[in-house]
Each structure stands twice: as structure tokens, then as C-alpha cells.
Amino acid sequence: MTSTAARPASEATEVLHATDGPIATVTLNAPQRMNTISRPMLEALSMALLDAQADPEVRVIILTAAGDRAFCAGLNLEAQRSGSDSIGTNRDVVRTTIDLRDTPPTVLHNLDKPVVCALNGSAAGYGLDLALGADIRVMSSSAKLAASYAKRAVLPESGGTWYLPRLIGWSKAAELVFTGRTLSAEDSLKLGLVSQVVPAGEVMGVARAIAAEIAANAPLAVQAAKRMMRMAWNEPFGEHVHHVFLQLLPLFGTQDFKEGISAFMEKRSPDFKGR
């Protein structure tokens, strides 16, 4: 297992990034405060995700957190209240523009590589939005998802208002967001917000098994499929199938395509190289 180059101490210790073969694991590492997000963590998390995206050896990313109490309980509100962290709005400054291109939710949404979120603990607010940005979510049976935005006088500012109606429909999303309701793992599974619910000690094992299964497939094809699935949310069918065809053509010329056909004809497991 290898890790990324060292970053400033405040960032490196609160966001860990390690690779093990084709799987990169990005870990929120502030369990003492339930992995709430500080300003240094924002840049560190974005950088860890972008590093994994740029690494040609990485085929799948696992997003998780240290400890078993919480995946992420939201932004670090205590630091904001004391004025030691300026994630929130500065009331003395009126902003007319804001650049969110390099923030974790935007970076996460734009990744081509699949992301498996291992929800080792509960997620609330910003943490819930982060989890929703992953492609697949594996949840601890003891964890909860708290859409508590309205109870904190805010809204799902980091993707929740975009993901939730698409994942569970307008009516269920509206009920969840407007009431600020907290969902059990069983409720989350029934709504389709997570793919699997497993015993607490098995979350990372199951997440890694899913990641390994994905990593065994042709990475260029998997990434192209993810791009097309993402585009499909906003495209008419006719335009979408045209774009899919344009993504398919270059795949026909790859070594992996030839390997996939050969492996099928020879009745063996393929050995894809990502070329």
C-alpha cells in the first residue's frame, strides 16, 4: 500500500489517501469530532480525489471515514461559531460571485472513476451530500442518514437538492428535506439511498469486495459508462444514444476490447490493462 506525497500537517492528518493496487482509499480522519469538515479538509479532500483520478493505476475509489460513530456529521459548526474556521459566509463581506469548481462535491461529481462510499457511521448535512455524490453506498446497520438541514436553518447546499429528487423522486425527497428527518439504515435501503446494509464491522470489507469486482473489468469502459450515466440525467433519449455511440467507437480500438473478446472466446478471465 502506498500513500500520496506529504501535505501540510493540518491537512495530511485529517484526510488520508492510500492506494492498494487498483483501489484508492480516501479517508476522513477527524473521528474526535465525528469527522466534521474543517476548511483545511476541503482542499485536502479535493486534492486526494483528484490525485486518485489522475493515477493511471487506480480504477476505483473508496470514500470512507475513521472511527465507527460517524462518516461525517457535516461542517465543523463549532469552529465556525468560534470564528476559527471561515467555511461559512463572512457577514462583513457581500459576495456577488462564488467559485465551487474545486470544492469536494463538485470534484466528486465530475470524477470518471467509480466511487464506493463506505458509510462506517452516520452521515448528516454536508456529510450526507458527500455520500450521495458517490456511485455506490455501503452502509453500517447501526448508521443513520440525517437530512437535518432545515433544523439548522440551512439547505442541502452541496448536492443534496440535485441528488435526492433524482435518487428517490420528488415527493420522497421533499418529505425528507422539508421535515429534516433522520433515516435508519433499513429506511435508507428501502428508499434506495444505499446499495447494501451490512453489520458494522463488515462495511469496509464489503466495499473493498465491490471495488475489486469493478476493478477487474475494463477501466476505460467502466469510466465511459459512468460518464454516460451522468449525462443521461440531463439529456433527451435521442441525444443520449448518439453520445453513447461516440463513446463506444474509441473503445473498439483498445487493447482491452480485443482482450475482452479473446477471453470470452477462450472461456477465461480477462486481464485488462486500461489501454
pTM for the model stands at 0.86
Query: Residue 6 has what DSSP assignment?
Result: P
Domain shared by 96 and 191, yes or no: yes
* pLDDT on residue 269: 94
Domain shared by 242 and 185, yes or no: no
- The CATH number that applies at residue 260 is 1.10.12
Residue 19: its H or E element:
strand 15-20
pLDDT tens, position by position, 165-201: 999 999 999 999 999 899 999 999 999 999 999 998 9
* pLDDT on residue 12: 56
pLDDT tens, position by position, 9-37: 444 589 999 999 999 999 999 999 999 99
Residue 225: its H or E element:
helix 219-232
* pLDDT on residue 81: 47
- The CATH number that applies at residue 102 is 3.90.226.10
Domain shared by 46 and 164, yes or no: yes
Q: Which of 200, 215, 230 is the last residue of a domain?
A: 215
- Ranges of residues in the chain with a pLDDT under 70 are 1-12, 77-99
Q: Which domain holds residue 177?
A: 2-215
Structurally, the chain folds into a number of domains equal to 2
* pLDDT on residue 93: 52
Domain shared by 91 and 152, yes or no: yes
Domain shared by 161 and 181, yes or no: yes
CA angle 58, 59, 62 (to 5 degrees): 85
Domain shared by 262 and 136, yes or no: no
Domain shared by 185 and 225, yes or no: no
* pLDDT on residue 117: 98
- Residues 30, 109: Cα–Cα separation, whole Å: 23
